[in-house]
Amino acid sequence: RVDDKRTFGLMFRRSDIYLDYAPGDLYTIDAGIMFRRYIHLGKRKIFALYSDLYAGCGWIYKISGKYHYPAGVEKEVIDDNVGDARFFIGWHPGIRVRFYKNLHIFAGPVLDTDCLGLHLGLGF
């Protein structure tokens, strides 16, 4: 935490990325850096808008559904291989509501090179 408006951090995650064109899954271990910026709404700072930006790299440790067998012929559908690196970048804008001291919930959309979705969390 730099101040009450800015935070830098390291992120570590395990991802399961579903590829609907295969169908199959990529399983990765990822590491990266992130930056969060708050825009406080009101003097009591109960509500805040925030923006997370992050980037990093992951390692594929498992793949399911790499091959498809139409009419008994093996066809490679997923180009990635175990051991490959995958770079990612993403943005999580959202809103935070503080309840007691720094206990808060936050939610918003996820815009990432691997997915589109929603996020919801509890912070303290």
| Residue 122: strand, helix, or coil | strand
The per-residue pLDDT for range 10-45, each reduced to its tens digit, is 999 998 988 888 888 999 999 999 999 999 998 888
DSSP per position, 4-73? SSEEEEEEEEEEEEEETTTTEEEEEEEEEEEEEEEEEESTT--EEEEEEEEEEEEEEEEEES-EE-GGG-
Written as six digits, the tokens of 40 are 């406080």
Residue from 77, 61, 87, 69 nearest 21 by CA? 77
Residue 71 confidence (pLDDT) above 80:
no
pTM given for the model? 0.79
The per-residue pLDDT for range 76-124, each reduced to its tens digit, is 888 889 999 999 999 999 999 999 888 999 999 999 998 889 999 998 8
Cα–Cα distance measured from residue 88 to residue 114, given in angstroms and rounded to the nearest whole number: 7
Tell me the residue length of the chain: 124
φ, ψ of residue 72 to 5 degrees: the values are: 80, 5
Residue 72 confidence (pLDDT) above 80:
no
